[in-house]
Structure formats: structure tokens, C-alpha cells
Amino acid sequence: MKAWTRMAAIAMGLMIVAGGAAAAGKKFVVGYTNLADTDVFTMSRKTAFGNVVKSDPDLSVIYTDANGDVSRQLDQIDNFIAQKVNAIVIVPVDYQGIVPGVERANKAGIPVIALGIQSAGGKYTFVGSKNFDAGRLQGEFMTEKLPKNAQVLYLQGTPGLYHSKERLAGFTQTLAKRSDVKILSNLPADYDRAQGMKVTEDWVERYPKFDAVVAANDQMALGALEALKTAGRLKGVMISGVDGTGDALHAIQAGDMSQTIYQNAKGQAVAAYQVVETIKSGKPAPAEVIVPFESVTHDNVSTYLK
């Protein structure tokens, strides 16, 4: 981004939110930059965080949406620094790309919380779940449930993103224990339901038989489910996703999906708020707070639907 463009973005951001910061008075001000408000899970976590902080009259939160653009997210962080907020919560668009923003916040003496996704550098508190574990839990389920000589299709998240790599690695490394199982194809669908449906439609045309579709999130898994239903190919095919969204939980209850890996949006939001409270009290923040992933199947889905 050109220097004048970045400065213009910062100036515009200051005009938009300076009033809000001033109105906050002596409140502890937190800047929150979300990966993308269009992403179902990250938006549910943002909403959960907002619900948690409502009960704290001494806390004010300024929310921004990076809309999947790391350059925009870096500008938002610069805006927060210019406003001299007391802490910054970042849901990183990119593990590597967010590093300059974290480092600039460090230089400004502003504590950083990386929520859900880690940063490749800089000093911060990580609050979230280990993405490798999501893939590992999917791999453990498939290792146990797949028939002999099974064939599997994998829908990966946006290529190059750290959490996409970690979820894929967790799955493939765990599934490797089953030497008889073959991964027929591994294609990206960008965490998007429509893309998951499109890729699966192509697979249906290409492969006369497969035993499972494993996806790096529920949106892609639900897209695959729709494609298989439309093609009359759902019977005998297991589907696994990640996040534990409401639609996925209901699909498991109905017997259409086999598994989702529950990522606790409210649990992560509460943990992030607790770290903010620690910072607000003047105590050192922990290096990380882990909220474990949980495997959800037909056997325990009723617990998560309550």
C-alpha cells in the first residue's frame, strides 16, 4: 500500500472513531479487528465477545471488520495505535501477514490478544484452540470409522493460511496410521459453502465411489452435503466439518453428517475477556489460553444442541 494511501486510511479511521474514544472518557478501551464479519464462526465469536463485555461498565470496545484483507487489518491496527487504545484484540487474516501490526502495537506498548489464530511473530497472548487438534480429531474419527481400503476426499480452507495448513496437517498425519486408506483428492474451497458444493459436484462426476468427505470447516462440509444429496450420493458417505455451527449440529442429529469439531465461540470470547481484565488490572497477561476443540458425533450431539 502506498504511503499516502495508508496515511489517508489512518486519518479517516481517526475521524470515524475518535468521537467514540473520547466519549469513552476514562474507560478501558479495546480495539477489536475481526478477520471477516461474513465468516459465520468468527462473527459468532465476535457477537459472543460483545455479549460478555456488556456487563462491564468500565470497558469500551471499538469494532472493525478486515473483510479478509490483511492490508486493511494492518490499517485498522494503526488506527487503534493512533487512538492510544488500552489493548487490541486481533482475529488475524493471515498468520504471517499480521506480524507487522503486532510488532507496531508492541512498540507502542499496547497489549495484544490474538484470538483464534496465532501470529508468526511479535508479543501477544493467544486465546483459542489449536488448529492442528481439529484435524487430529477428524483423523482419529475417520481412522476408527472408515471401512477397509476406504477412499476419502478433503476440502481444505483458503490455501496459504496458517489455520488451513494446520487443520490439514492434523488430519493427514493422524489418518496416516491407516495405510489402507487413500485420499483421492485434496482441493481448496476457501471456507465457503457454495465453493464446497461446487468442488463436491465435480468430485461426484469424477469419482464413482468414495467413503468420506472431510472439510476444514462446517460451511464447506454443508456445501458437500447439499451436493451429495442432490446427486443421490449421500448414502454410505461420512461427512466431517469443523466449528460446531448450528446447521452442522442439526445435520448430525438428522444423520446427514457424521462429525463436526466444536470450536467454542463463547468459551473463546469469555477467555479473551478474562485476559482483557487481567491487563486492565495491571497484571501480566499469560502467553496463551487454550480452549480445546471437542469432537461431536451422533452419540453426543444432543448435549451441544441445548
Domain extent, residue 180, equals: 131-262
Same domain, 181 and 271: no
In a domain, 295, yes or no: no
Same domain, 96 and 7: yes
* Angle, helices 3-23/70-83, rounded to nearest 10 degrees: 50
Please check whether residue 105 is in contact with residue 267, taking contact to mean a CB–CB distance below 8 angstroms. no
Same domain, 154 and 227: yes
Same domain, 124 and 269: yes
The domain that contains 122 carries what CATH number?
3.40.50.2300
Same domain, 106 and 251: no
Please check whether residue 77 is in contact with residue 105, taking contact to mean a CB–CB distance below 8 angstroms. yes
Query: Residue holding cell 471456507?
Result: 191
Residues in the chain, total: 306
Query: pLDDT by residue for the chain (306 residues), tens digit each?
Result: 433 344 344 444 443 343 344 334 589 999 999 999 998 889 999 999 999 999 999 999 999 999 999 999 999 999 999 999 999 999 999 999 999 999 999 999 999 999 999 999 999 999 999 999 999 999 999 999 999 999 999 999 999 888 899 999 999 999 999 999 999 999 999 999 999 999 999 999 999 999 999 999 999 999 999 999 999 999 999 999 999 999 999 999 999 999 999 999 999 999 999 999 999 999 999 999 999 999 999 999 999 997
Same domain, 277 and 248: no
Same domain, 212 and 238: yes
Please check whether residue 204 is in contact with residue 165, taking contact to mean a CB–CB distance below 8 angstroms. no
